[in-house]
Structure 1
Protein backbone atom coordinates (compact mmCIF):
# COMPACT_ATOMS: atom_id res chain seq x y z
CA UNK A 1 0.00 0.00 0.00
CA UNK A 2 1.43 3.37 -1.01
CA UNK A 3 1.96 5.92 1.72
CA UNK A 4 0.20 9.24 1.38
CA UNK A 5 2.44 12.33 1.43
CA UNK A 6 1.82 14.26 4.63
CA UNK A 7 2.60 17.75 3.30
CA UNK A 8 -0.55 19.89 3.09
CA UNK A 9 -1.58 21.40 -0.23
CA UNK A 10 -1.10 25.13 0.09
CA UNK A 11 -3.29 27.43 -1.95
CA UNK A 12 -1.20 30.14 -3.58
CA UNK A 13 -1.97 33.79 -3.07
CA UNK A 14 -3.72 35.47 -5.97
CA UNK A 15 -0.90 38.00 -6.19
CA UNK A 16 1.60 35.18 -6.71
CA UNK A 17 -0.41 33.88 -9.66
CA UNK A 18 -0.63 37.39 -11.09
CA UNK A 19 3.10 37.85 -10.57
CA UNK A 20 3.88 34.69 -12.54
CA UNK A 21 1.59 35.71 -15.40
CA UNK A 22 2.98 39.24 -15.62
CA UNK A 23 6.54 37.98 -15.44
CA UNK A 24 5.79 35.54 -18.29
CA UNK A 25 4.39 38.39 -20.38
CA UNK A 26 7.74 40.15 -19.98
CA UNK A 27 10.10 37.19 -20.29
CA UNK A 28 8.26 35.77 -23.32
CA UNK A 29 8.40 39.11 -25.11
CA UNK A 30 4.72 40.09 -25.06
CA UNK A 31 5.91 43.18 -23.21
CA UNK A 32 9.36 44.59 -23.99
CA UNK A 33 11.68 47.02 -22.20
CA UNK A 34 10.26 50.51 -22.52
CA UNK A 35 6.66 49.32 -22.93
CA UNK A 36 4.01 50.53 -20.53
CA UNK A 37 2.15 47.89 -18.57
CA UNK A 38 -1.62 47.58 -19.10
CA UNK A 39 -3.64 49.63 -16.63
CA UNK A 40 -4.63 48.14 -13.29
CA UNK A 41 -8.24 47.98 -14.47
CA UNK A 42 -7.28 46.11 -17.65
CA UNK A 43 -5.27 43.59 -15.64
CA UNK A 44 -8.07 43.18 -13.09
CA UNK A 45 -10.48 42.33 -15.88
CA UNK A 46 -8.04 40.06 -17.69
CA UNK A 47 -7.15 37.99 -14.65
CA UNK A 48 -10.41 38.29 -12.72
CA UNK A 49 -8.77 39.53 -9.54
CA UNK A 50 -8.98 42.62 -7.35
CA UNK A 51 -6.73 45.67 -7.31
CA UNK A 52 -4.68 44.57 -4.23
CA UNK A 53 -3.48 41.40 -6.03
CA UNK A 54 -2.44 43.44 -9.07
CA UNK A 55 -0.61 46.05 -7.01
CA UNK A 56 1.19 43.47 -4.89
CA UNK A 57 2.35 41.58 -7.98
CA UNK A 58 3.50 44.79 -9.67
CA UNK A 59 5.44 45.83 -6.59
CA UNK A 60 7.14 42.44 -6.49
CA UNK A 61 8.21 42.89 -10.13
CA UNK A 62 9.47 46.36 -9.29
CA UNK A 63 11.49 44.95 -6.41
CA UNK A 64 13.48 42.73 -8.79
CA UNK A 65 13.98 45.51 -11.31
CA UNK A 66 11.61 44.32 -14.02
CA UNK A 67 9.27 47.30 -13.63
CA UNK A 68 9.57 50.91 -12.67
CA UNK A 69 6.56 52.40 -10.92
CA UNK A 70 5.98 56.17 -10.88
CA UNK A 71 3.11 57.90 -9.11
CA UNK A 72 0.36 58.89 -11.51
CA UNK A 73 1.84 56.98 -14.45
CA UNK A 74 1.59 53.45 -15.75
CA UNK A 75 4.35 51.08 -14.74
CA UNK A 76 7.03 50.63 -17.39
CA UNK A 77 8.96 47.48 -18.29
CA UNK A 78 12.68 47.76 -17.60
CA UNK A 79 15.67 46.04 -19.16
CA UNK A 80 17.46 43.93 -16.58
CA UNK A 81 21.21 44.50 -16.71
CA UNK A 82 24.04 43.30 -14.46
CA UNK A 83 24.23 46.81 -12.99
CA UNK A 84 20.50 46.98 -12.21
CA UNK A 85 20.61 43.45 -10.83
CA UNK A 86 23.32 44.27 -8.31
CA UNK A 87 21.55 47.53 -7.51
CA UNK A 88 18.67 45.48 -6.16
CA UNK A 89 20.87 44.13 -3.34
CA UNK A 90 22.54 47.42 -2.39
CA UNK A 91 20.31 48.14 0.61
CA UNK A 92 20.59 44.59 1.95
CA UNK A 93 24.36 44.60 1.48
CA UNK A 94 24.70 47.86 3.42
CA UNK A 95 22.63 46.48 6.29
CA UNK A 96 24.70 43.30 6.38
CA UNK A 97 27.94 45.28 6.42
CA UNK A 98 26.77 47.75 9.07
CA UNK A 99 25.76 44.98 11.45
CA UNK A 100 28.73 42.66 10.90
CA UNK A 101 32.40 43.67 11.10
CA UNK A 102 33.31 40.24 9.71
CA UNK A 103 31.33 41.01 6.56
CA UNK A 104 33.55 44.01 5.85
CA UNK A 105 36.64 41.81 6.15
CA UNK A 106 35.04 39.26 3.85
CA UNK A 107 34.20 41.99 1.33
CA UNK A 108 37.77 43.31 1.29
CA UNK A 109 39.06 39.77 0.79
CA UNK A 110 36.55 39.17 -2.02
CA UNK A 111 37.57 42.41 -3.71
CA UNK A 112 41.24 41.39 -3.65
CA UNK A 113 40.42 37.96 -5.06
CA UNK A 114 38.26 39.52 -7.79
CA UNK A 115 40.51 42.40 -8.83
CA UNK A 116 43.71 40.36 -9.00
CA UNK A 117 42.10 38.15 -11.63
CA UNK A 118 40.45 41.10 -13.31
CA UNK A 119 43.67 43.04 -13.79
CA UNK A 120 45.31 40.01 -15.39
CA UNK A 121 42.59 39.96 -18.03
CA UNK A 122 42.92 43.71 -18.41
CA UNK A 123 46.65 43.33 -19.14
CA UNK A 124 45.93 40.63 -21.71
CA UNK A 125 43.12 42.50 -23.50
CA UNK A 126 43.76 46.23 -23.06
CA UNK A 127 43.81 48.42 -26.14
CA UNK A 128 45.56 51.75 -26.50
CA UNK A 129 42.33 53.62 -25.74
CA UNK A 130 41.93 51.71 -22.47
CA UNK A 131 45.43 52.61 -21.34
CA UNK A 132 44.89 56.25 -22.32
CA UNK A 133 41.64 56.36 -20.35
CA UNK A 134 43.36 54.96 -17.25
CA UNK A 135 46.20 57.47 -17.50
CA UNK A 136 43.66 60.29 -17.88
CA UNK A 137 41.90 59.11 -14.71
CA UNK A 138 45.20 59.19 -12.84
CA UNK A 139 45.60 62.81 -13.99
CA UNK A 140 42.10 63.57 -12.70
CA UNK A 141 42.95 61.96 -9.38
CA UNK A 142 46.23 63.86 -9.16
CA UNK A 143 44.35 67.12 -9.75
CA UNK A 144 42.06 66.21 -6.84
CA UNK A 145 44.87 66.06 -4.26
CA UNK A 146 43.62 67.72 -1.09
CA UNK A 147 39.96 67.11 -1.93
CA UNK A 148 39.11 63.83 -0.21
CA UNK A 149 35.71 63.26 -1.84
CA UNK A 150 36.94 64.00 -5.36
CA UNK A 151 40.11 61.94 -4.85
CA UNK A 152 38.15 58.89 -3.65
CA UNK A 153 35.60 59.27 -6.46
CA UNK A 154 38.42 59.30 -9.02
CA UNK A 155 39.93 56.25 -7.31
CA UNK A 156 36.66 54.37 -7.76
CA UNK A 157 36.43 55.39 -11.42
CA UNK A 158 39.97 54.12 -11.97
CA UNK A 159 39.13 50.66 -10.65
CA UNK A 160 35.80 50.43 -12.47
CA UNK A 161 37.54 51.44 -15.71
CA UNK A 162 39.91 48.51 -15.31
CA UNK A 163 36.84 46.31 -14.85
CA UNK A 164 35.50 47.55 -18.20
CA UNK A 165 38.54 46.43 -20.19
CA UNK A 166 37.57 42.74 -20.57
CA UNK A 167 34.21 43.91 -22.07
CA UNK A 168 32.20 41.82 -19.63
CA UNK A 169 29.34 43.86 -18.10
CA UNK A 170 29.12 41.50 -15.12
CA UNK A 171 32.72 42.35 -14.20
CA UNK A 172 31.87 46.05 -14.31
CA UNK A 173 28.73 45.59 -12.23
CA UNK A 174 30.51 43.52 -9.56
CA UNK A 175 33.39 45.98 -9.32
CA UNK A 176 31.08 48.98 -9.07
CA UNK A 177 28.89 47.29 -6.46
CA UNK A 178 31.78 46.26 -4.22
CA UNK A 179 33.40 49.69 -4.45
CA UNK A 180 30.10 51.35 -3.60
CA UNK A 181 29.63 49.14 -0.54
CA UNK A 182 33.20 49.78 0.61
CA UNK A 183 32.97 53.54 0.19
CA UNK A 184 30.90 53.91 3.37
CA UNK A 185 33.83 52.56 5.39
CA UNK A 186 36.58 54.68 3.84
CA UNK A 187 38.24 56.72 6.58
CA UNK A 188 40.02 60.06 6.45
CA UNK A 189 43.21 58.17 7.25
CA UNK A 190 44.12 58.57 3.57
CA UNK A 191 44.28 62.34 3.91
CA UNK A 192 45.91 62.61 7.31
CA UNK A 193 48.67 60.11 6.65
CA UNK A 194 49.72 61.62 3.33
CA UNK A 195 49.17 58.41 1.37
CA UNK A 196 47.56 60.13 -1.63
CA UNK A 197 50.81 60.24 -3.60
CA UNK A 198 51.49 56.59 -2.77
CA UNK A 199 48.08 55.70 -4.17
CA UNK A 200 48.89 57.60 -7.36
CA UNK A 201 52.25 55.85 -7.70
CA UNK A 202 50.59 52.47 -7.24
CA UNK A 203 48.01 53.32 -9.89
CA UNK A 204 50.77 54.31 -12.31
CA UNK A 205 52.52 51.01 -11.64
CA UNK A 206 49.31 49.09 -12.37
CA UNK A 207 48.71 50.97 -15.63
CA UNK A 208 52.32 50.54 -16.76
CA UNK A 209 51.97 46.78 -16.34
CA UNK A 210 48.64 46.77 -18.21
CA UNK A 211 50.17 48.84 -21.02
CA UNK A 212 53.06 46.38 -21.26
CA UNK A 213 50.64 43.45 -21.46
CA UNK A 214 52.33 41.93 -18.40
CA UNK A 215 49.59 40.09 -16.53
CA UNK A 216 51.93 38.82 -13.81
CA UNK A 217 53.29 42.28 -13.02
CA UNK A 218 49.79 43.78 -13.17
CA UNK A 219 48.47 41.24 -10.66
CA UNK A 220 51.42 41.78 -8.31
CA UNK A 221 50.96 45.56 -8.46
CA UNK A 222 47.22 45.28 -7.79
CA UNK A 223 47.76 42.93 -4.85
CA UNK A 224 50.31 45.31 -3.28
CA UNK A 225 47.96 48.24 -3.81
CA UNK A 226 44.86 46.60 -2.33
CA UNK A 227 46.70 44.99 0.59
CA UNK A 228 48.16 48.36 1.54
CA UNK A 229 44.91 50.30 1.09
CA UNK A 230 42.80 47.68 2.88
CA UNK A 231 43.54 49.37 6.22
CA UNK A 232 41.74 52.50 5.01
CA UNK A 233 38.37 50.75 5.24
CA UNK A 234 37.33 50.47 8.88
CA UNK A 235 34.07 49.26 10.42
CA UNK A 236 32.35 51.74 12.71
CA UNK A 237 32.53 49.23 15.58
CA UNK A 238 36.33 49.15 15.39
Structure 2
Protein backbone atom coordinates (compact mmCIF):
# COMPACT_ATOMS: atom_id res chain seq x y z
CA UNK A 1 0.00 0.00 0.00
CA UNK A 2 2.81 2.45 0.82
CA UNK A 3 4.29 1.86 -2.66
CA UNK A 4 0.95 2.81 -4.21
CA UNK A 5 0.87 6.06 -2.25
CA UNK A 6 4.39 7.11 -3.19
CA UNK A 7 3.66 6.35 -6.85
CA UNK A 8 0.42 8.33 -6.97
CA UNK A 9 1.23 11.18 -4.61
CA UNK A 10 4.24 13.41 -5.32
CA UNK A 11 6.65 13.73 -2.38
CA UNK A 12 5.90 16.67 -0.13
CA UNK A 13 2.19 16.80 -0.99
CA UNK A 14 -0.33 16.34 1.80
CA UNK A 15 -2.49 13.27 1.34
CA UNK A 16 -5.73 15.25 1.59
CA UNK A 17 -4.52 17.78 -1.00
CA UNK A 18 -3.63 14.94 -3.33
CA UNK A 19 -7.11 13.42 -3.01
CA UNK A 20 -8.73 16.83 -3.57
CA UNK A 21 -6.69 17.38 -6.74
CA UNK A 22 -7.49 13.90 -8.03
CA UNK A 23 -11.23 14.27 -7.49
CA UNK A 24 -11.22 17.79 -8.95
CA UNK A 25 -9.62 16.33 -12.06
CA UNK A 26 -12.29 13.67 -12.35
CA UNK A 27 -15.02 16.32 -12.00
CA UNK A 28 -13.38 18.57 -14.61
CA UNK A 29 -13.04 15.64 -17.01
CA UNK A 30 -16.72 14.75 -16.65
CA UNK A 31 -15.97 11.38 -15.09
CA UNK A 32 -17.93 12.58 -12.06
CA UNK A 33 -20.77 14.62 -13.63
CA UNK A 34 -22.95 17.24 -11.98
CA UNK A 35 -25.47 15.61 -9.65
CA UNK A 36 -23.62 12.31 -9.39
CA UNK A 37 -22.71 10.99 -5.94
CA UNK A 38 -19.06 10.62 -5.07
CA UNK A 39 -17.85 7.02 -4.89
CA UNK A 40 -18.42 5.42 -1.48
CA UNK A 41 -15.93 6.40 1.19
CA UNK A 42 -14.46 2.88 1.27
CA UNK A 43 -13.80 3.01 -2.49
CA UNK A 44 -12.01 6.35 -2.16
CA UNK A 45 -9.87 4.98 0.66
CA UNK A 46 -8.85 2.01 -1.48
CA UNK A 47 -8.41 4.00 -4.70
CA UNK A 48 -6.08 6.58 -3.20
CA UNK A 49 -4.46 4.49 -0.49
CA UNK A 50 -5.34 6.89 2.31
CA UNK A 51 -7.16 6.81 5.62
CA UNK A 52 -10.80 7.58 6.32
CA UNK A 53 -9.72 10.80 8.06
CA UNK A 54 -7.88 11.94 4.92
CA UNK A 55 -10.89 11.21 2.70
CA UNK A 56 -13.21 13.14 5.00
CA UNK A 57 -10.82 16.10 5.07
CA UNK A 58 -10.66 16.04 1.27
CA UNK A 59 -14.46 15.95 0.96
CA UNK A 60 -14.76 18.88 3.38
CA UNK A 61 -12.32 20.86 1.23
CA UNK A 62 -14.25 20.03 -1.93
CA UNK A 63 -17.46 21.15 -0.22
CA UNK A 64 -15.85 24.45 0.83
CA UNK A 65 -14.98 25.03 -2.83
CA UNK A 66 -18.54 24.37 -3.93
CA UNK A 67 -17.58 21.24 -5.88
CA UNK A 68 -19.63 18.82 -3.79
CA UNK A 69 -22.72 19.15 -1.64
CA UNK A 70 -22.80 17.26 1.63
CA UNK A 71 -25.77 16.18 3.73
CA UNK A 72 -25.85 14.01 6.85
CA UNK A 73 -26.34 10.29 6.10
CA UNK A 74 -26.05 10.84 2.33
CA UNK A 75 -23.09 10.46 0.02
CA UNK A 76 -21.66 13.79 -1.17
CA UNK A 77 -23.06 14.91 -4.53
CA UNK A 78 -20.96 16.54 -7.25
CA UNK A 79 -21.82 20.11 -8.16
CA UNK A 80 -20.71 21.60 -11.45
CA UNK A 81 -17.89 24.12 -10.99
CA UNK A 82 -19.00 27.68 -11.59
CA UNK A 83 -18.50 31.23 -10.44
CA UNK A 84 -20.89 30.74 -7.52
CA UNK A 85 -18.62 27.95 -6.33
CA UNK A 86 -15.64 30.29 -6.63
CA UNK A 87 -17.40 32.91 -4.53
CA UNK A 88 -18.44 30.29 -1.99
CA UNK A 89 -14.83 29.20 -1.68
CA UNK A 90 -13.90 32.76 -0.70
CA UNK A 91 -16.70 33.15 1.84
CA UNK A 92 -14.73 31.94 4.83
CA UNK A 93 -11.91 34.41 4.21
CA UNK A 94 -14.35 37.23 3.46
CA UNK A 95 -16.17 36.54 6.71
CA UNK A 96 -12.96 37.10 8.65
CA UNK A 97 -12.18 40.25 6.67
CA UNK A 98 -15.62 41.67 7.43
CA UNK A 99 -14.89 41.37 11.14
CA UNK A 100 -11.80 43.56 10.79
CA UNK A 101 -11.94 47.31 11.25
CA UNK A 102 -13.15 48.88 8.01
CA UNK A 103 -13.91 45.50 6.47
CA UNK A 104 -17.60 46.06 5.78
CA UNK A 105 -16.98 49.56 4.43
CA UNK A 106 -14.26 48.30 2.09
CA UNK A 107 -16.58 45.65 0.68
CA UNK A 108 -19.43 48.14 0.38
CA UNK A 109 -17.22 50.65 -1.45
CA UNK A 110 -16.29 47.85 -3.86
CA UNK A 111 -19.98 47.29 -4.49
CA UNK A 112 -20.51 51.00 -5.21
CA UNK A 113 -17.58 51.07 -7.62
CA UNK A 114 -18.83 48.02 -9.50
CA UNK A 115 -22.50 49.00 -9.65
CA UNK A 116 -21.66 52.53 -10.82
CA UNK A 117 -19.83 50.94 -13.75
CA UNK A 118 -22.71 48.52 -14.38
CA UNK A 119 -25.37 51.23 -14.56
CA UNK A 120 -23.15 53.29 -16.84
CA UNK A 121 -22.81 50.32 -19.19
CA UNK A 122 -26.54 49.63 -18.91
CA UNK A 123 -27.36 53.19 -19.98
CA UNK A 124 -25.17 52.74 -23.05
CA UNK A 125 -25.85 49.13 -24.01
CA UNK A 126 -28.97 47.73 -22.31
CA UNK A 127 -31.44 46.13 -24.70
CA UNK A 128 -35.15 46.80 -24.64
CA UNK A 129 -35.82 43.55 -22.80
CA UNK A 130 -33.20 44.51 -20.19
CA UNK A 131 -34.90 47.83 -19.56
CA UNK A 132 -38.26 46.06 -19.36
CA UNK A 133 -36.85 43.60 -16.81
CA UNK A 134 -35.54 46.52 -14.77
CA UNK A 135 -38.93 48.19 -15.02
CA UNK A 136 -40.69 45.07 -13.74
CA UNK A 137 -38.26 44.87 -10.83
CA UNK A 138 -38.88 48.54 -10.06
CA UNK A 139 -42.66 48.04 -10.15
CA UNK A 140 -42.38 45.10 -7.74
CA UNK A 141 -40.22 47.23 -5.47
CA UNK A 142 -42.82 50.00 -5.46
CA UNK A 143 -45.63 47.59 -4.66
CA UNK A 144 -43.65 46.30 -1.68
CA UNK A 145 -43.22 49.69 0.03
CA UNK A 146 -45.72 48.93 2.85
CA UNK A 147 -44.01 45.60 3.67
CA UNK A 148 -40.37 46.10 4.68
CA UNK A 149 -39.42 42.42 4.37
CA UNK A 150 -40.85 42.27 0.86
CA UNK A 151 -39.25 45.60 0.06
CA UNK A 152 -35.83 44.25 1.03
CA UNK A 153 -36.29 41.23 -1.23
CA UNK A 154 -37.40 43.36 -4.17
CA UNK A 155 -34.58 45.82 -3.49
CA UNK A 156 -32.11 42.95 -3.88
CA UNK A 157 -33.93 41.81 -7.03
CA UNK A 158 -33.77 45.30 -8.57
CA UNK A 159 -30.01 45.48 -8.12
CA UNK A 160 -29.68 41.90 -9.39
CA UNK A 161 -31.01 42.97 -12.79
CA UNK A 162 -28.15 45.46 -13.10
CA UNK A 163 -25.68 42.58 -12.71
CA UNK A 164 -27.50 40.49 -15.32
CA UNK A 165 -27.56 43.09 -18.10
CA UNK A 166 -23.93 42.52 -19.28
CA UNK A 167 -24.73 38.80 -19.82
CA UNK A 168 -21.50 37.85 -18.09
CA UNK A 169 -21.99 35.04 -15.54
CA UNK A 170 -19.32 36.50 -13.26
CA UNK A 171 -21.45 39.52 -12.35
CA UNK A 172 -24.60 37.73 -11.08
CA UNK A 173 -22.35 35.46 -9.00
CA UNK A 174 -20.68 38.54 -7.51
CA UNK A 175 -24.08 40.03 -6.70
CA UNK A 176 -25.24 36.87 -4.95
CA UNK A 177 -21.98 36.83 -3.01
CA UNK A 178 -22.30 40.50 -2.02
CA UNK A 179 -25.87 39.86 -0.88
CA UNK A 180 -24.86 36.90 1.23
CA UNK A 181 -21.79 38.57 2.71
CA UNK A 182 -23.57 41.80 3.64
CA UNK A 183 -27.04 40.49 4.53
CA UNK A 184 -26.28 39.63 8.19
CA UNK A 185 -25.42 43.29 8.80
CA UNK A 186 -27.86 44.84 6.35
CA UNK A 187 -30.91 43.18 7.87
CA UNK A 188 -30.21 44.93 11.17
CA UNK A 189 -31.13 48.23 9.55
CA UNK A 190 -34.37 49.72 10.92
CA UNK A 191 -36.93 49.97 8.13
CA UNK A 192 -40.20 51.77 7.60
CA UNK A 193 -42.54 52.52 4.69
CA UNK A 194 -41.24 56.10 4.65
CA UNK A 195 -37.64 55.00 4.22
CA UNK A 196 -38.72 52.37 1.72
CA UNK A 197 -40.40 55.10 -0.30
CA UNK A 198 -37.18 57.15 -0.35
CA UNK A 199 -35.19 54.15 -1.55
CA UNK A 200 -37.80 53.41 -4.18
CA UNK A 201 -37.46 56.97 -5.49
CA UNK A 202 -33.70 56.48 -5.76
CA UNK A 203 -34.26 53.24 -7.66
CA UNK A 204 -36.59 55.18 -9.95
CA UNK A 205 -33.86 57.75 -10.58
CA UNK A 206 -31.47 54.96 -11.58
CA UNK A 207 -34.06 53.37 -13.85
CA UNK A 208 -34.99 56.66 -15.51
CA UNK A 209 -31.36 57.49 -16.28
CA UNK A 210 -30.79 54.06 -17.84
CA UNK A 211 -34.02 54.31 -19.83
CA UNK A 212 -33.02 57.78 -21.05
CA UNK A 213 -29.56 56.50 -22.08
CA UNK A 214 -27.75 58.92 -19.76
CA UNK A 215 -24.69 57.11 -18.33
CA UNK A 216 -23.51 60.06 -16.22
CA UNK A 217 -26.91 60.49 -14.58
CA UNK A 218 -27.17 56.73 -14.01
CA UNK A 219 -23.78 56.57 -12.32
CA UNK A 220 -24.52 59.64 -10.20
CA UNK A 221 -27.93 58.31 -9.14
CA UNK A 222 -26.51 54.91 -8.20
CA UNK A 223 -23.61 56.40 -6.25
CA UNK A 224 -25.87 58.86 -4.42
CA UNK A 225 -28.29 56.04 -3.57
CA UNK A 226 -25.69 53.70 -2.10
CA UNK A 227 -23.77 56.46 -0.32
CA UNK A 228 -27.00 57.62 1.30
CA UNK A 229 -27.79 54.05 2.30
CA UNK A 230 -24.39 53.67 3.93
CA UNK A 231 -24.79 56.88 5.91
CA UNK A 232 -28.06 55.59 7.26
CA UNK A 233 -27.03 52.03 8.12
CA UNK A 234 -23.45 52.43 9.30
CA UNK A 235 -24.66 52.96 12.85
CA UNK A 236 -25.79 49.34 12.86
CA UNK A 237 -22.21 48.13 12.35
CA UNK A 238 -19.41 47.86 14.86
CA UNK A 239 -17.40 50.26 12.70
CA UNK A 240 -18.25 53.89 12.07
Name the CA distance, whole Å, in 1 between partners of 2:122 and 2:55.
Answer: 46
2:137·2:154 contact (CA, 8 Å) conserved in 1? yes
What's the counterpart of residue 94 of structure 1? 95
- 1:190 Cα shift? 4.8
Cα offsets for 1:104-152 (capped at 9, x unmatched): 2212211111111111122223222222222222222222223222212
Q: Trace 1:72-151 onto structure 2 (pairs within 5 A).
A: 72-97=73-98, 99-151=99-151
Name the CA distance, whole Å, in 2 between partners of 1:182 and 1:78.
Answer: 25
Query: Which runs of no fewer than 5 residues in structure 2 stay unpaired?
Result: 1-10
- 1:91 Cα shift? 4.5
1:119·1:215 contact (CA, 8 Å) conserved in 2? yes
Name the CA distance, whole Å, in 1 between partners of 2:46 and 2:100.
Answer: 47
Cα offsets for 1:66-85 (capped at 9, x unmatched): 11223333222111221232
RMSD: 2.4
**Is 1:156 paired with 2:156?**
yes
Q: Whose Rg is larger? A: 1
Query: Which runs of no fewer than 5 residues in structure 1 stay unpaired?
Result: 1-9
2:115·2:222 contact (CA, 8 Å) conserved in 1? yes
Name the CA distance, whole Å, in 2 between partners of 1:59 and 1:168.
Answer: 29
What's the counterpart of residue 6 of structure 2? none
Q: Trace 1:214-233 onto structure 2 (pairs within 5 A).
A: 214-233=214-233
What's the counterpart of residue 238 of structure 2? 236
1:189·1:232 contact (CA, 8 Å) conserved in 2? no
Cα offsets for 1:19-41 (capped at 9, x unmatched): 22222222233222222222222
Name the CA distance, whole Å, in 2 between partners of 1:181 and 1:232.
Answer: 19
| Structure 1 residues 93 and 233: alpha-carbon distance in aligned structure 2, compared to 1, 3 A threshold | farther
**Is 1:209 paired with 2:209?**
yes
Question: Aligned pairs, how many?
Answer: 228
2:67·2:85 contact (CA, 8 Å) conserved in 1? no
Cα offsets for 1:206-231 (capped at 9, x unmatched): 11121222222211221221222221
| Structure 1 residues 18 and 91: alpha-carbon distance in aligned structure 2, compared to 1, 3 A threshold | closer
What's the counterpart of residue 57 of structure 2? 56
Name the CA distance, whole Å, in 2 between partners of 1:50 and 1:195.
Answer: 57
Match of 2:102, SS state, is helix
